[in-house]
Amino acid sequence: MKIMRDIKGITTPMQLFALLPFFTGDKEDMRLRTCGRLYGFVVMLGLLVSSTMFCQDVLFASQEYKLLSHSQGETEEINRTIETLFCICSYTMIAVSCVHNGSKHFRTLREIAKIDEYLEVNGFNAKYSCRFLGTLLAIASASVVVVAFYYIHYLSDITISRQCILILIYSLQMIYSFMFALYLRTILMNLTQRIEFLNQRLDEFTKDEKNTFDKENWRELSNLIEIFCKFRYITENMNAVTGVALLFYMGFAFYTVTNQSYLAFSTLTTPTQLRKNYDTMGLSCAWVLAETTTMSMICSSCDCLASEANTTSQILARVYGKSKEFQNIIDKFLTKSIKQDVQFTAYGFFVIDNSTLFKIFSAVTTYLVILIQFKQLEDSKLEDSAT
């Protein structure tokens, strides 16, 4: 199956972390493995139990997770605690959502595999590789864990047991977000290539040599529109499968970028003689770089697929005016779902495309100003109490 060959590089790691179900067989015999389902539920249960314990400890013993030995303001410590809780919820919900939607995800892959048979017969052989982007994202994600280990192990007074917990939390978040983003990039760009191939074939009907109506043209156009309908169904299923995970990850990434930008600003505005005691600039830069890279990869992947899928209706509009016979075919097969714009959303809360990054950074700027004002108010109160 071509789709399985195209995503082969990321399949095994995804399955090991329960983000993709284990399956066996080929084409019509393709089915979920019972032991694979059980493995997914065991991983999900383990994450739920451990995450509950971690959240309880971080919430009720937040002072024990203080990153720097020296005292910081309440705003920074509260924000850091909330960020850690969001981190736990993010990777847990990514895993839980993927395990819960495993069967639906499997059916979607099987549908793609069936369509690939038609595409390969008609000459489709493209394959998308994101090796460079994957390497870049892996480096950015690993840098967060490495820098966090330095701060936690060498600069904090956190006990060894809680050091392990905090590093484990950060590691799981980086692993799950990295694999989730890389898989989305791979599968969505492969779908984009397939739709682009079909759009090129459909565009041939706008040329003069295709104006003549015959049975062969009628059959080809009918097949194309039917496959476009299936791809619309597949795209909606992919969004349904990943919607919850996207919501929790994007929420965590937004909060992290905002908080770490604020912490970086706090470091820069700290007096020079005290800066060494409060310096978390390295960790802040690592977090912002990793989350920005991951969000960019996800948003661009969703935007590419949506843009290519929405191009279909534009081509069909040109074909519609070429021949009256073609109009009858298009009227018959062009359903309401095809006429609607394809969008990827975070469980329906907001659309994910290239404009999402601009909106996120606009919101980050706004919240950053608010946090800075809180910081200035806190500092002024400390100065008043000192005098």
DSSP output for 141-155: HHHHHHHHHHIIIII
Residue type, 293: T
Does the pLDDT of residue 173 top 70, yes or no? yes
What whole-number distance in Å separates Cα of residue 190 and Cα of residue 237? Answer: 15
Does the pLDDT of residue 179 top 60, yes or no? yes
User: Helix 102-121 vs helix 160-203: angle between axes, to the nearest 10 degrees?
Assistant: 30
Q: What is the mean pLDDT of the chain?
A: 88
What whole-number distance in Å separates Cα of residue 332 and Cα of residue 246? Answer: 35
What whole-number distance in Å separates Cα of residue 260 and Cα of residue 280? Answer: 9
Does the pLDDT of residue 373 top 90, yes or no? no
pLDDT-derived band at 291 (thresholds 50, 70, 90) equals: very high
Q: What is the mean pLDDT of residues 239-249?
A: 96
Does the pLDDT of residue 288 top 80, yes or no? yes
| pLDDT score of 244 | 96
Strand ranges in the chain using DSSP code E only, listed in sequence order:
23-24, 31-32
List b or e across 250-276, with b for residues whose CB sees 16 or more CB atoms inside 10 angstroms: bbbbbbbbbbbbbbbbbbeeeeeeeee
DSSP of 273-332 = TTHHHH--HHHHHHHHHHHHHHHHHHHHHHHHHHHHHHHHHHHHHHHHTT-HHHHHHHHH
Q: What is the mean pLDDT of residues 92-107?
A: 95
Q: What is the mean pLDDT of residues 318-337?
A: 70
What whole-number distance in Å separates Cα of residue 354 and Cα of residue 189? Answer: 15
Domain range list for the chain? 2-386
User: Helix 354-386 vs helix 215-269: angle between axes, to the nearest 10 degrees?
Assistant: 10
Task: Of 19-23, 53-57, 90-94, 142-146, give the lowest mean pLDDT range.
Answer: 19-23
Does the pLDDT of residue 178 top 60, yes or no? yes
CA 375 vs CA 116, 245, 257, 281: distances in Å: 57, 32, 17, 17
Using alpha carbons, select from 319, 127, 106, 340 the residue that is nearest to residue 224: 319
Q: What is the mean pLDDT of residues 341-350?
A: 91
